[in-house]
């Protein structure tokens, strides 16, 4: 399929995990992909893989929490390129309840997961508004909708992403801009492997199986499965879809009771 031919998609956190799969999927379907990541080497590696496959991608180092930095970089890009699609994927995690969450932890998650989305929206959306066309896709989480143990700060930020999605969809529907979010359950990414290696070095397989079975479907999701849903929502096939949250969680939210 070439659903994104002649389209430009900006993906934050595109250097690894779910973001990497999103970049590859959109590029394979014809998009010019702009990969934003704090780790430039990772972004360049993903861009190189896409280019070697004959597709179009470029890498940029970007701290989404830096308001001025985001504005400067996006303004430079917009001077030569129209951004048709914005995927707010960049985010960080934290494990702990309220008492385990320091002020520094809380501020760090807010700055990336909430302010980072705000910064990207404020930089990209006005140009979409002027063109009266654009698609925004935010990465929320099952933690946006249900209580999950030891995810106080993370749940707080992802709840904000969900409601920002609703607000933007409502405020800009008359400008031809669609805004949706997806809410993944547990997805097998390098973050999961690193977490298990650091915290459960002696029983990684046992804990991995336990985490996998927390989804009623009996396994974790894959980054490519998330990317497939993102691609649909960013395409013209989803032209009638806006202001919606799409769980992709192996039944976690609705069947785990």
Catalytic residue numbers read: 154
66 by Cβ neighbours in 10 Å (0-12 / 13-18 / 19+) ranks as: middle
| Alpha-carbon span 231 to 222, nearest angstrom | 15
Alpha-carbon radius of gyration of the chain:
18
| Alpha-carbon span 140 to 156, nearest angstrom | 11
Closest by CA position to 153, among listed 96, 90, 91, 88: 96
| Alpha-carbon span 107 to 111, nearest angstrom | 6
């Amino acid at each position: 399929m070439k659903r994104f031919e002649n389209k430009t998609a900006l993906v934050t956190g595109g250097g690894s995990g779910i973001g990497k799969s999103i970049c590859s999927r959109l590029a394979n379907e014809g998009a010019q992909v702009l990969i934003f990541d704090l780790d430039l080497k990772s972004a360049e590696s993903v861009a190189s893989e896409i280019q070697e496959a004959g597709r179009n991608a470029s890498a940029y180092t970007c701290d989404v929490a830096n308001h001025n930095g985001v504005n400067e970089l996006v303004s430079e890009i917009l001077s030569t390129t129209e951004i048709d699609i914005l995927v707010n994927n960049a985010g960080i995690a934290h494990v702990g309840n309220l008492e385990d969450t320091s002020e520094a932890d809380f501020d760090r998650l807010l700055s990336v997961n909430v302010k980072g989305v705000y910064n990207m929206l404020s930089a990209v959306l006005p140009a979409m508004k002027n063109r009266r066309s654009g698609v925004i896709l935010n990465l929320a989480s099952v933690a946006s909708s249900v209580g999950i143990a030891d995810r106080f700060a993370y749940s707080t930020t992802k709840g904000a992403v969900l409601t920002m999605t609703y607000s933007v969809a409502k405020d800009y529907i008359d400008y031809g801009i669609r805004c949706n979010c997806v809410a993944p359950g547990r997805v097998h990414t390098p973050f999961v492997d690193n977490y298990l290696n650091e915290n459960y070095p002696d029983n990684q397989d046992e804990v991995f199986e336990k985490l996998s079975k927390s989804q009623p479907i009996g396994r974790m999701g894959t980054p490519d499965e998330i990317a497939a849903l993102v691609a649909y929502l960013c395409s013209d096939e989803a032209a009638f879809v806006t202001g919606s949250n799409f769980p992709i969680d192996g039944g976690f939210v609705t069947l785990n009771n």
